[in-house]
Amino acid sequence: MKKSVLIGLLIAIGSTSIISCKKDYYCQCKKVYTNSNGSTSTYDDDVYTFRDTRARAESKCTNEEGTGSDLVGGSYSRECEIK
């Protein structure tokens, strides 16, 4: 009887700790434009919400980074970080 209560308690504590690790993490991205003379302009871009562990949220946030170009400012790099 004591063993089954102890095992049940350990399972309950273990599952609670796994569930509690997931929470909302906010990924703030910005675009950094560099013009031909080397000066930069930075603009806020998207904000993403990831409900996950911190490590997975950071990985997903990093996946949003990159480079590109658009009609607004030309070439840019996109930088993202967890806030």
* pLDDT tens for the chain, residues 1 to 83: 666 655 665 676 655 555 558 999 999 999 999 887 888 999 999 999 999 999 999 999 999 999 998 887 789 999 999 99
Residues contacting residue 11 through CB under 8 Å, at least 6 positions apart: none
pLDDT of the residue at 2 = 64
CB hemisphere CA count around 23 (13 angstroms) = 7
pLDDT of the residue at 32 = 95
What's the angle, vertex CA 19, arms to CA 18 and CA 21, rounded to 5? 70
Quote the CA–CA distance of 61 and 43 in Å, as a whole number.
17
pTM above 0.85, yes or no: no
pLDDT of the residue at 15 = 56
Residue 57 DSSP code: H
pLDDT of the residue at 9 = 58
